[in-house]
Amino acid sequence: MILIPAIDLKDGEAVRLYKGDYQQKTVYSTQPEDIALAFEKMGADYLHVVDLDGAKEGTTSNLETIQKIRNILSIPMELGGGIRDMKTVDLYLNDIGIDRVILGTAAIENPEFLKAALQKYGPQRIVVGVDVKDGYVATAGWLVNTQTHYLEFLKELEKIGVQYIVCTDISKDGTLTGPSFDLYEDIYQNSSLQFVVSGGIKDAADIYKVNEKGYYGCIVGKAYYEGKIDLKEVITCLQKESSPV
């Protein structure tokens, strides 16, 4: 399992929202690149970045901050939020040097674009963000609810050739109440997709449980920012466990 620390960007700052509510925002840093570097020094293998302004507006609002983060890091970085056309995919993957992008709204509203992106860059670099609210997929920064059940959506993604998804239970995000393990087990049993658990991680035990279940990855955000997790210790523990004897 890969453990992926997260930085959510709004107005150039590192923030966290509560259940995706843009009005319930906590600012953790005005220098997100410093947080990114700290994650790398802790031993993180990957960084997850979300452009919240982009997700809401379909823009590249935090481009300058994203470039700063990419320039300071040597570890791989994935980015989601507002990536809704090939021009933006090209910008992030080719010009900015992002390792993989996460398509959310565009993946459900424009499957032809998703197919084209997969054909151009491959499933290792094109990841789909599946944001779930009450069993159904939500889009546009979680502000729009669709009538598409998440398992139905996952089947469509598999047909298109998607291999990796980041799945977030919106009701859990930023709550520190633990992930929706029932949701993830449902995906594990009914899909061949490799998925990243996102939303609700409250402590190290949650991360170890994700690892024990054999899921592909886990994102940690608020639990780190609120001092609930010694991230360096958890990363070291996971690395020891995966090392050959």
Indicate which residues carry an active-site annotation. 8, 131
CA diameter of the chain = 49
> What is the Cα–Cα distance from 106 to 162, expressed in whole angstroms?
14
What is the token pair recorded at 233?
């210790």
Give 120's contacts (C-beta < 8 A, 6+ positions apart). Answer: 86, 89
C-alpha distances out from residue 200 to 9, 171, 189, 226, Å: 18, 8, 21, 13
Q: What angle do CA 145, 148, 154 make, to 5 degrees?
A: 120
- Would you list the DSSP string of 15-47? EEEETTEEEEEEEEES-HHHHHHHHHHHT-S-E
Q: Which helix (H) or strand (E) holds 146?
A: strand 144-149
What is the token pair recorded at 144?
């729009």
CB atoms inside a 10 Å sphere around CB 177: 13
- Which residue's entry shows tokens 């239970």? 169
> What is the Cα–Cα distance from 156 to 9, expressed in whole angstroms?
30
> What is the Cα–Cα distance from 182 to 198, expressed in whole angstroms?
13
Which DSSP state fits 230?
Answer: -
